[in-house]
Structure 1
Amino acid sequence: MTKSERLLLILNLLRSRRNLTASNLAKECEVSERTVYRDIRALSEARVPIYFDRGYKLLTDAFLPPLNFTVDELLTLYLGLNSESIQSVDSLRRSGKQALAKLESLIPESIRADYENAKQRIKVQREKQCSRQTRDLIFDLLKQAICSEKQIKLRYDSTRSSEIIQLTPRILVYQNGEWHLEGIAQRNRRRFRLVMIKNVTFSESDSFSEQNEACP
């Protein structure tokens, strides 16, 4: 962790908690208390309003720099604001739309393209159904494969058979209360229920090759 990253972490910790001691901050930042004292001094010299009263506190956060979101964090907020629980209530839907517009206006140019690409490839189709939990590892691997344009092999256990499939994943779709994967396998577009996917590995061949594209 660089010094600038550590200073930002200290600010975020002070934003979210009260009465943090040098020992608390040192443990969170994985540095010595002496380093924390130097960091607090550096923040104070930069006119960040930090004071001590049974722990370090912020006098105000009105002039602090904005939180730095990662693409994954932004995508999580985007999916959450487009979920059925938000979209099924008009007042929440309007508030969610306004909140998303404000959030997207603050995205740095350095990650905007990656965020927009992820938005296009990971979608929610809203249905009036109760959602089911998705296995995190399978979902994360598929999301990584889609956004990095990698081919994958998966084991798919349907009610009729178990098969190993190599495909080019295209999109993840939430529909009828569960997530589905759509992709191209042997020049055919197919859809798979995530609850039936038992294993995912990355293929060694190049992604999005012509041999795996769907026929016109």
Structure 2
Amino acid sequence: MRADRLVSLVLLLRRHGRLSAATLARELEVSTRTVLRDIEALSSAGVPVYAERGRHGGFALLPGFQTELTGLNHDEALALLVAGSRRGAQVFGLGSALASAMLKVVDALPEGNRAIAAGAARRLLIDPETDLLARRVVAEEVPDAVVAEIRRAVFAGHKLRINYAARDQTPKWRTVDPIGLVTARGQSYLLATRSGADRTYRLARVLAAEELAEPAQRPDRVDLDRAWQERSTRFRTGGDQVAVLVRVDPARRADLVGTALAVRTEETDADGWLRLEVTFQDARHAEWALWQLTTNAEALAPQWLRTSLHNRAATMATRYDVSP
């Protein structure tokens, strides 16, 4: 327990710089007297920790001091940072690096802890390939060479040439300033700018990529989560989106909302069914989503959607006609 606490103390100082004994005690959930004893133990062990007195004083590590897990290379360390999502490591072309890094981490553990960790790992399963209904999770296939080239440009801050196949368009080369990579629901995206305008590219549609030597025009710091939220909002409110008025069985509301881009209004009818105005990406998306709900939902408007669903149902009824 004390060894774990000493490591945590060093990592806290590494991350936050100078911290008071009271702050360290609060973070480690121990008394300030225990913190002082731990500081003394670290100093005796050769860890360059020192104290600064005064109102804004506290404990800090000498500049430049850092601990290393020997043997981890750049890709392995990066893979561990995204290991919270095993699928994220795979999407960004870091699956093999993650496996290699985890072997090194396990090998670095004391013998007793190594066996305990291995046993515990066998009790956990994260992101299986199928759900309880045996529906397979379809992950996008992106060539490792393409992902690696994009990743290098993102991290190095260089411009990037991509041969991109936009939907229903002929593939063509374009030069972009890469900002970051995002994975969401099994799909991966490159956030970039092109001629100063925001652009979002599906990695699965990048046929080839080439990192350029020219520096990218982008800010030094980026809030990737905020950038993704802003682009998601623009996507939901623009393009060829369609608004649909739907009546749906409350038991299937989650299915409807889960496929829609947004819910504009919602109310309850006298019979208990829900009446929602929702938006879909386009006409094909709207028809597909309502068809999945069968008789548990009814599209009230627009009329073209009702007609389309009627024609599809009539065709299906004719095909499965059981009359002699």
| TM-score, L = length of structure 2 | 0.30
Q: Which structure's CA Rg is the greater one?
A: 2
Which one has more relative contact order, counting CA pairs under 8 Å at least 6 apart?
A: 1
